[in-house]
Amino acid sequence: MAAYLQRINLFSQKFAKGIQNFSTGTVRYAKVSKSGTSKPRKVNRDKRKDFGVRIQDGSFVNPGTILVRQRHLHACPGLNVGIGFIADLYAKVAGKVVVTYEKTNLKTDNYLVFTKYPDSLPLYKTYYNVIPAPQHQRFKLVETI
């Protein structure tokens, strides 16, 4: 029994030393840093581009107004209409929008046109035109000023 009490006493002394070391600030940290989640991220589908017609036929527009947002060239630019970086059509002048459906006159030497469109079929495309607003008629001659 005495041997058993000595063992308990010895164990309690070692345990007390461990507590003293812990209280003095000895701390062991994890060897591997915490990593992020392993789940794949979900694609945010809310930030899609809204393509399509922005301004209808017969509307009045100011310069720089986007008429059509498109990824590929479905609608072509006509009079006073420019084409942006991603095939967006925008108005160059203030005026009324007129949408026409015309036969195209494509350059067949371009390899993209040659491979995509056959020569035998007539090709009709939608053209967006901007007719400028009429100017005022209150002009003065330079000689009278």
What pLDDT sits at residue 90? 96
Domains of the chain: 50-132 (2.40.50.100)
Separation CA 22–CA 10 (nearest Å): 19
The model's confidence at residue 9, banded by pLDDT at 50, 70 and 90, is: low
Is residue 108 predicted with pLDDT exceeding 60? yes
Q: Reduce the DSSP state of residue 8 to 3 states and report it.
A: helix
75-77 vs 124-132, strand pairing mode:
parallel
For residue 110, count other CB atoms closer than 10 A to its CB.
11
pLDDT averaged over every residue in the chain: 79
Can you tell me whether residue 103 is helix, strand or coil?
strand
What is the model's pTM? Answer: 0.59
Tell me 124's DSSP state.
E
At residue 87, the pLDDT reads: 85
